Amino acid sequence: MEKKVVDKNIFVDALKQSFVKLAPHVQVKNPVMLVVYIGAILTTALYCLSFAGIKDESSGYILAISLILWFTVLFANFAESIAEGRGRAQADTLRKARKDVKARKLKSADNVDRYTEVLSADLKKGDIVYVKAGEQIPMDGEVIDGAASVDESAITGESAPVIRESGGDRSAVTGGTTLVSDWLIIEVTAEAGENFLDKMISMVEGASRKKTPNEIALQILLVTLTIIFLVVAATLLPFSEFASSQAGAGSAISITNVIALLVCLAPTTIGALLSSIGIAGMSRLNQANVLAMSGRAIEAAGDVDVLLLDKTGTITLGNRQASEFLPVSGVTEQELADAAQLSSLADKTAEGRSIVVLAKEKFGIRGRELSRLNATFVEFTAKTRMSGINYQGIEICKGAADAVKAFVLKKGGEYPDECEQIVKRVAGAGGTPLVVAKNNQVLGVVYLKDIVKNGVKKRFEDLRKMGIKTIMITGDNPMTAAAIAAEAGVDDFLAEATPEAKLTLIRDYQAKGHLVAMTGDGTNDAPALAQADVAVAMNTGTQAAKEAGNMVDLDSSPTKLIDIVRIGKQLLMTRGALTTFSVANDVAKYFAIIPVLFFGIYPQLTALNLMGLTSSTSAILSAIIYNALIIIALIPLALKGVKYRELPAGKLLQRNMLIYGLGGIVAPFIAIKLIDMLLTACGIA
Amino acid sequence: MSYIIWQDIFYIALLIGLSIPLGIYIYKVMTGQKVFLTRVLTPVENGIYKVMGIRNDEQMGAKKYALSVIAFSAICLVFLWALQMLQGILPLNPEGMEGTNWHLAFNTSASFVSNTNWQAYSGESTLSYLTQSLGLTVQNFVSSAAGMAVLFVLIRGFILKKKTTVGNFWVDLTRTTLYILIPLSLTVAVLLTSQGVVQTLSTYKDVATLESGAVQTIPLGPAASQIAIKQLGTNGGGFFGANSAFPLENPTPLSNLIQVLSILLIPAALCVTFGKAVKDSKQGIAIYAAMMILFVVALAATTIFEQFTGPVFNGVAASGSIEGKEIIHGIGASSLWATATTAASNGSVNSMHGSFTPLGGMILMFLIQLGEIVFGGVGSGLYGMLAFVLLTVFIVGLMVGRTPEYLGKKVESYDMKMVCLIVLVPLLLTLLGTAAAVVMPDAASWLTNSGARGFSEILYAFSSMGNNNGSAFAGFNANTVFTNVTGGVIMLLVRFIPMVAAIFLAGNMAQKTMVAVSEGTLSTSNTMFIGLLIGVILIIGALSFLPALALGPIADYLTTR
């Protein structure tokens, strides 16, 4: 995250771009600003004509209007350039990572010695390359053999290397990243120009930026308003001509003033800032290390009202921790702790370690040298669902209740009812019971607890206030899931989640009219990701998952979804707020201009000059100077976005209406009056 | 003054009281449910379908529906045009009226087909009974029925999910005419005749007046039947030139009340229908409230301006601005009527708007310029208002951090295009029409007044035609080739472009799925939204017309006070 919104290089570059963008083919893309642009050209022409004696106002006045209009156009260009500039800076960093490297292209995957050296740019889809430690991965691909740690900091900014291996969900590699250890055999899945890094560069640079659906709809509204004001301003020529002939005083208003009025009234503020808002929203997303594949996705994020959140990592801390030893009668807690600790010493899982920690905390049981005990460790497998230790003829095992029960019964022991009760109680409370047995005797249960993250409950409450439902996705059984769901305060949960169940859940919610967001990484998540409205694929995930999603989270953080929703909403709010502000501004501009515009025809209209502006010249100049300056003044807001709070729609609207609606009416009254006083003081009026 | 206030309160209470049951009745008719007239009218309805060869189970897509509306209206236009030009050789013409000229006939046809009822002629001296009843009265029915049909289509657009059809125009047209307009008109016509409104086919009567035996010709005709539908269908075209200021068209205070109630009755009831149809009465109430607030404010302003800003003659007790108003109605009932007829796109008058005070007249003009959505025309008022609702939803809806939606339907770029067409066309044509008129070299010769008031006359005329209202700021000579032709074209465009846009909007909406409502959804039925809706309507109206109004009524007021 960069602290400063704009650094010096971007600023200088944006200044340059402001002039480059004066080219007609750039201006045509923004209809509202095009009107100002044409107005500027026309007034310039009028200024030139004024020397030939053809003039409807004094040359100096026409020049002043013309200059202010040119500045208005430049300010709009500047706003866009500065938003683009931040993206371009990001893109430059990325481009450094994208250099052509020599790749070892293999004839076949089973012989790494038979290769030809080719440039990475010449690789084709389906080619197989061999990469060794210290080398750069030449192109996006799928690992088909080997395992290695890869430094992906060029893309993610995260310096800790990540594991990439064949098979499973961590098989996708990205061109431009570097192997830190070992080797990989990779099948190329993208060609030069269309790989991930290229896509990323063009996205952050805004080069491939298309207008988003809502932006297009808003553009239609802005064009409509502009057409209305174009006709309002243009018809004033005949109207005032007729009125002056009827009144027998004054004359038709000048073309210069018609243009000034039009520019004042057209929604130039939002017209100038609209694309900056879009680009800035995208770059806020990039700063959160999320890459949206389309602008549509970021808008959909604002609309999302159902979040599917993975339990692990989002709601609970990554791993379960031992929190209690619950012995059966006849066994002391310490005995149980001792046995459990012994069986966990060689267990490298987080659960195992937490048992050792708990035993030390509670009873001061220290680590023992396993080799001294002449012990062998029994590793956990999915089949036995137990782990344990054998030493000096003693077998200690710990594991899932039914697995241990079977083990004890087989050994001729008994499985006490009491143990069954404890197991049920623990599971009912959302924990995972781990039964410990020594030979054929059940000692008791270790209570493994899912630790709900700090503050998630509050977070979900806030989301609920905004009308967003949170749904916890977990592989746990329904009882455990229900307990954790209650503790975390989610609205609903999906227990024993399978990819099919997720897909069905998403479809159900969508059928009820909800928009669903989810995160996924595995290949089996792909159908659900493709179905979801906002689908965030983890960067560590498979190629299939990344292709199915419409966003990629480079940090692979499960909580990212909430940030994405925030950024989406903020983007839409900023757009709405500035549109409202822009339209509300017109009220004051009218009160500045109308009374003085027809002064010559009906001097009595000065009764409407509520602001007490000095003269018609100063009033019109003040209004269009305000009109130009407000663009510059609002650039920081367009880039940062309006302040975002998790509030219900009604409250949000009230707040924003007060600031941007009411503020939009009041602010220009004050500002125009001040500018007018300043102009008067300078003797321009 | 206090009797005026009580009179207005009584009127509004009566209006609300009657509009609720009528709204529910219209909802039942719209959805084909059984009503008390079903048994009587079903055979008639089926008979019509049979004779006309209509398959009443056919469902139309937006395109076909729009084509049906246009084709139907085009045929009506040509028929009416021909009828007027040929009336001299057709029967039922006791006064021997000659065929009218082509441009007046075109203007009148366009005016009645578009539910405007702008009258560049005087009924009693221009049209035969046949033209009045077979031509104009029929159009009064079907043009308002078409407006209601299009509203039904738009409502269906909001209710339907993933559908490509929006209803059947012929069925909608038949049912609204048969079940709603005819029974209501019959009732009102009978009530009006009881008050002395004429209904006869006999020739005009010559009567001796009190004025030293002078003889005056009193025009007669089948008036009551046409007046009932002229008010109910927001048509407004008077049987006689002086409209409801003429004693035989509006003889008593009670007939005045019945007529002024009829002006707003159906447009108000349709708000209730809307709430019923979308299964959320609050939505209907919100729109009703927004319209009512705008109406009450306008009514209060008009009344106050008429009562207190009239001309003051030294030494004479102030009576308010009574010029151009009938003594029988006074300032209160005249202001009420004037506000109602301009709020709705009715256009009938019981006083001369051209004689209103500058600011009172400005309120009337502004109500028209808002796009005839404060109750507005039958059907067209509400679909115009719904366009403003969507516009409001779009502008302020973004501020809650979601893409805009209304009644569970997302408002996207296609919808915005249609909404903008509905809002844009009347504004532009009003301004452009006025501009075209003032650049005519002999424009000044059409006016009775000069100065700012002269400009007001032209602005009012084109606002009236450009929003399908039909009332006039008397004093403007409307029967010229220029005004007849441009006015006729404007009335047609302003009626049918938004109408077709509303149908296509409905077609697009019907194809969408519903979005679920949550805490994060913008409420479109609370006080906040009603306020915002009113704000958007006023700002769009004010921004578009303030400069023109400054040169007309505002300058008029400031230069004559």
Whole-angstrom distance, CA of residue B405 vs CA of residue B517: 10
How buried is residue A615: exposed, middle or buried, by Cβ count under 10 Å (0-12/13-18/19+)? middle
Question: Which of A576, A586, A594 shows the shortest C-beta gap to B398?
Answer: A576
Structure tokens of A27? 């201006």
Within an 8 Å CB–CB cutoff, is residue A163 touching chain B?
no
Q: Three-state SS across B61-122?
A: CHHHHHHHHHHHHHHHHHHHHHHHHHHHHCCCCCCCCCCCCHHHHHHHHHHHHCCCCCCCCC
3-state helix, strand, coil in chain A (%, to 5): 55, 15, 30
- Sign of CA pseudo-dihedral B5, B9, B14, B20: positive
Contacts of B502 (CB under 8 A, 6+ apart): B150, B151, B153, B154, B383, B386, B387, B418, B422
A649–B551 CB contact, under 8 Å: no
Q: Answer whether B554 sits within 8 Å of A608, measured CB to CB.
A: yes
Top pLDDT among B561 and B91 is at B91
Length of chain A: 685
How many CA atoms within 13 Å lie on the side-chain side of A627?
34
**Mean pLDDT of all residues in B124-129:** 89
Tokens linked to B335: 């202001």
More confident site: A176 or A370: A176
Contact A648 B520 (CB under 8 A): yes
Average pLDDT over residues B133-162: 95
A467 touches chain B (CB under 8 A): yes
- The answer to whether B553 and B366 are in contact (CB under 8 A) is no
Interval B49-68: pLDDT, tens: 999 999 988 999 999 999 99
> What is chain B's Cα-based Rg?
23
**A221, A513, A587 member nearest B516 (Cβ):** A513
* DSSP code of residue A538: E
Q: Which of residues 45-74 of A touch B (CB under 8 A)?
A: none
Taking residues A156-162, what's their average pLDDT? 71
CA-nearest of B432, B489, B109, B149 to A239 is: B432
Q: Are B420 and A224 in contact (CB under 8 A)?
A: yes
B525 backbone dihedrals φ, ψ, rounded to 5°? -130, 5
pLDDT at res. B316: 67
A12-26, A72-86, A96-110, A479-493: the lowest-pLDDT one? A96-110
CB contact at 8 A, A358 and A384: no
**What's residue A1's pLDDT?**
37
- The DSSP string of B247-281 is TTTS-SHHHHHHHHHHHHHHHHHHHHHHHHHTT-H
pLDDT per residue over B419-455, tens digit each?
A: 999 999 999 999 999 999 999 988 888 888 888 999 9
Top-confidence range, A126-135, A202-211, B271-280? B271-280
Q: Residue B544 to residues A234, A263, B370, B491: CA-CA distances in angstroms? A: 12, 14, 9, 19
Is the separation of the CB atoms in A656 and A574 below 8 Å?
Answer: no
A644 contact B CB<8A: yes
* The pLDDT of residue B31: 93
Other Cβ atoms closer than 10 A to B88? 13
pLDDT at residue A113 in the model: 82
Average pLDDT of span B337-355: 94
Structure tokens at A378: 């029994």
**Secondary structure (DSSP) of A464-506:** HHTT-EEEEE-SS-HHHHHHHHHHHT-SEEE-S--HHHHHHHH
pTM, two decimals, is: 0.89
Contact with chain B for residue A228, Cβ under 8 A = yes
Q: What is the mean pLDDT of chain B?
A: 93
Query: What is the C-alpha to C-alpha distance for residues A576 and A267, in angstroms, rounded to an integer?
Result: 13
Cβ contact A235–B417 (<8 Å): no
H or E stretch covering B241: none
Interface probe, candidates A466, A653, A654, A656, chain B, greatest B C-beta count within 10 A: A653
pLDDT band at A46; cut points 50, 70, 90: very high
| Helix axis angle, B62-86 to B481-510, nearest 10° | 160
Nearest to B514 by CA among B160, B275, B235, B233: B160
d(CA B221, CA B136) in angstroms, rounded, equals 13
Residues in chain B: 561
Is the pLDDT at A430 greater than 50, yes or no? yes
Mean pLDDT across the stretch A245-258? 90
Instruction: Name the residue in chain A with its Cα closest to that of B523.
Output: A650
Residue A461: which pLDDT band, with cuts at 50, 70 and 90? confident
- Buried b / exposed e across B529-541, counting CB within 10 Å, b at 16+? bbebbbbbbebbb
Residue with tokens 């450094």: A96
Measure A307 CA to nearest chain B CA, in Å.
14
pLDDT at B304 over 70: yes
A310 is catalytic: yes
The SS3 assignment for B515 reads coil
Q: Which of A435, A369, A363 is nearest to A404 (CA)?
A: A435
The two three-digit tokens of residue A134, written as one number: 């210290």
Q: How many CA atoms lie within 13 A of B49 on its CB side?
A: 18
Query: Chain-centre distance of CA B220, in angstroms?
Result: 26
Determine, for residues B401 and A513 on separate chains, whether the beta-carbon distance falls below 8 Å: no
Residues A620 and A605: their CA atoms lie apart, in Å, by: 16
| Residues in Cβ contact with B341 at an 8 Å cutoff, skipping those fewer than 6 apart | B236, B263, B347, B348, B349, B469, B471
Q: What pLDDT score was predicted for residue A20?
A: 93
Confirm or reject contact between A482 and chain B (CB < 8 A). Answer: no
Chain A residue with CA closest to B414: the answer is A217
Please report, rounded to a whole number, the percentage of residues in chain A having pLDDT higher than 70.
96
Asked whether residue A206 carries a pLDDT value surpassing 70, the answer given is: no
Amino acid B303 reads: T
> How many Cβ atoms sit within 10 Å of the Cβ of residue B15?
21
The residue-averaged pLDDT of A45-69 equals: 91
A127, A169, A310, A450: the catalytic one is A310
Is any Cβ of chain B less than 8 angstroms from the Cβ of A589? no
Q: Tell me if chain B has a CB within 8 Å of the CB of A265.
A: yes
Most confident of A191-200, B121-130, B299-308: B299-308
Return d(Cα A168, Cα A326) in angstroms, integer: 37
